[in-house]
Amino acid sequence: MKDATREQPGAWLPKFVRRLDPAISTAFACIIVLLILGSLYSASFLSPEYLLQQLKVASFLGVISTGMMMVILLGQIDLSIPWSVAVGGMMACAAAAFGPVGETLAIPFGVACGMVIGFANGIGVAYLRIPSMIITLATNAVAQGLMVVYTGGFSPQDSATITMRYLATGFLIPGVPNAVLIWAIVGAVATFVLTRTTFGRSVYGIGNQERAAYLSGINTRRIVLIAFVSCGALSAFGGTLLAGYASKAAQSMGDSYLLPSIAAVVLGGTSILGGRGSYLGTIAGVILITLLQSILSVMQMPEAGRQITYGLVIIVMLLLYGRGPANR
């Protein structure tokens, strides 16, 4: 679409306005609208403490959405998020029960378990050519089954380590929660990887046209595998942070992250068909979703209303700018 000779609509606009992705600017505009609405509802909504608290809550979703974005950029989807998150949290807590060695290895172990799930997804999608939606649903079911057998159907009794709690709730720099710091690091690395490395360019290439990427010599199957493994790892890492935040893991801790993570990525302007999107948009999407959740809970909307609002907001936003091409 980047045809230099073609007259682009709105060419009279300043360059930086033209370069702005309409999706990202819409998302940021919605954030501002939500902030104004919230401040009308409650005066403390715009206070720095409250906003920082929101940013902290957003950072868990942010970490998880980063992995989801990689996969969506490939034109795939990962529906195993709920139990990747839960496995990450539960396995990290389980490792913590094994003395001091277990405590040091808690986070790496949780993340490694997430990577195993991602690896199974990646093998299925890249090498067995199973549609990602199906194979990730299946690994999600297997992960759930394993955890049910492991816990005996009850919430696990092990609790999070001090490190996990520190990462999720502590303050390394006064005033800036560690969780936000972690999201910033994860985001910076993701931005660098996506825009400045061969791997990142290959991800966009595969998302646009896997056939063409393969013919230009990219090892597409390896790239897809790596993307799924990193998605599993990031979800599990998000799970360990969540376990640290709540100081223990729970069976259903990941259930409320599947829809928001897809929504955050898609609302941020990343095409669900793959190959198009930027991390800035995902940041906007994550903050937008978190603010929406927060406003709904400030308004004491019951769970039913929240689900309906979620679904409607996603459909309406997608209808505004996520539509596929007309086929004629």
Q: Give least dist CB 316 to other proteins, A.
A: 9
186 binds other proteins (CB under 8 A): no
299 binds other proteins (CB under 8 A): no
DSSP string, 202-255: HHHHHHH-HHHHHHTT--HHHHHHHHHHHHHHHHHHHHHHHHHHHTB--TTTTG
Stretch that binds other proteins, among 22-30, 61-69, 157-165, 299-307 (CB under 8 A): 299-307
State residue 248 phi and psi, 5-degree precision: -160, 165
- Sequence-ordered list of residues with C-beta below 8 angstroms from that of 133, at least 6 positions apart, any chain: 77, 79
322 binds other proteins (CB under 8 A): yes
Dist. CA 86–CA 94, nearest whole Å: 12
93 binds other proteins (CB under 8 A): no
User: Which CB sits closer to other proteins, 126 or 168?
Assistant: 126
273 binds other proteins (CB under 8 A): yes
Distance from the Cα of residue 270 to its chain's centroid: 12
- Which residues are registered as beta bridge partners of 173? 176
Of the residues 211, 216, 219, 297, which one makes contact with other proteins according to CB under 8 A: 211
Dist. CA 268–CA 109, nearest whole Å: 31
Of the residues 31, 35, 52, 137, which one makes contact with other proteins according to CB under 8 A: 137
Cβ atoms of residues 232 and 84 within 8 Å: yes
Stretch that binds other proteins, among 60-68, 95-103, 156-164, 319-327 (CB under 8 A): 319-327
46 binds other proteins (CB under 8 A): no
Dist. CA 325–CA 161, nearest whole Å: 49
Stretch that binds other proteins, among 5-13, 35-43, 175-183, 259-267 (CB under 8 A): 259-267
Q: Name the residues that contact other proteins, by CB under 8 A.
A: 77, 124, 128-131, 133-135, 137-146, 148-149, 152-153, 210-211, 214-215, 220, 255, 258-259, 262-263, 266, 272-273, 302-312, 314-315, 318-319, 322-328
